[in-house]
Structure 1
């Protein structure tokens, strides 16, 4: 991704959703052989203009991951669906436990990792300078009794063109952050902070609670939570996501036609 300067990205209108609408309106039957087994035999007409090919869907997802400030342009991808996709292909849903949105903003992109502790907010500041435009900071913190992120870091990161901050720890300045157009996710919120010790690490492999987050992995965060997508299985995960969206689209069509969800899922 190339960006000439940090001032231009705020005014650029990048809409991955528009990529998903550039298809003919012809009807096509989509077989769900790789979807959930209970609904694999269902037949329904799907409008391709609303449901593009996998290649087009993948292109839209990649476009989104390389862009900045896409809060309003990410409605075609969600953490519940991608967590289901990861569980299906990887046996692990990729969810970061207990980390939630602070201000209701959505973010998606590649990760710059940070490892620090609750007494050190200096490493977070240093990471802002090292991050590339469009990247997401993922900060893993040992402890959560003091904040390593707040209003000033959020403003600095937003100005830099960073796409969001995920904190497996504590942040503060909730009143300021909730009104900012910058995505922040945190495990908890506290009023106090530590010191600029600068004794953490940046761009390092993270491992906590049995979860691995590596530099270059993808992160999706919305109001349901945060999910990490390992870069080595990124396209496979997006293919699984596409199949799930096909399946859910068909189920909704059948529900609208008056079918019982119990019958559709063949649970009876």
Structure 2
């Protein structure tokens, strides 16, 4: 089913692109210390997944995006993507937000762990919820449902997808923790890391000011006056 036709074209509805180059391990080391909320703030505060819930506890997630787009309720191309996955990959799945059928469950979880996959992010549903509670494999999804998937749909691997309102490109850095999931383009990582360090330094200084009682009590009044509000 996945062979390119003699004309050099994929069958209608199917596309499998090669994996991007793995991320340099230095980025994984550097961003392992950066919370998802800080990354989101430094990307403009309007990016990241919306409505994704952690089903694994609070184990953080960090890895290289392997993207999959599937027909709602079908997981055939997810199974193929797991065959292509490399250790350190995060499966990011666009299931069109469908919550009527789970596209990922306990058996696939075992397969993912065996392949060295370090996270699963689903714009849709998963199942076998008790098995995720061990925290071994971070899993974020819109919801859970007992109804299982079909295995005959079309789909695409390693293409740009929308996952819970978040644009994800193959090879993006995926960052997840208790606050949610954010994707960062690899071309932005050097500047993004600097911004994150600056933000975290400012936050530490603010917390120290709160503890010592040295924060300027009039700082918010100044902002309001600058906006024309008489205070």
What TM-score, normalized by structure 1, do the two folds share?
Answer: 0.67
Higher RCO, 1 vs 2 (CA within 8 Å, ≥6 residues apart): 2
Deviation sequence 1:188-242 (CA, Å, 0-9, x none) = 1111012111521111111467642110111111111111112221221111111
Alignment of 1:112 onto 2:66: yes
Alpha-carbon distance, 1:141 to partner: 0.6
Partner residue of 2:37?
A: 80
Alignment of 1:63 onto 2:33: no
List gaps (5 residues or longer) in structure 2.
1-23, 222-231
Alignment of 1:185 onto 2:140: yes
Q: Which of the two has greater strand per residue?
A: 2
Alignment of 1:153 onto 2:108: yes
Q: How many residues align?
A: 196
Alignment of 1:266 onto 2:215: no
C-alpha distance in structure 1 between counterparts of 2:196 and 2:171, whole Å = 20
Alpha-carbon distance, 1:256 to partner: 2.1
2:55 aligned residue (102, 106, 131): 102
* CA RMSD, Structure 1 to Structure 2 (Å): 2.2
**Does the CA contact (< 8 Å) of 1:118 and 1:147 recur in 2?**
no
Q: 1:138 to 1:257 in 2, by over 3 A?
A: same
List gaps (5 residues or longer) in structure 1.
1-57, 66-73
**Does the CA contact (< 8 Å) of 2:50 and 2:166 recur in 1?**
no
Say which SS state the counterpart of residue 267 (structure 1) adopts: helix
Which structure 2 residues correspond to residues 14-53 of structure 1 after superposition, within 5 A?
none
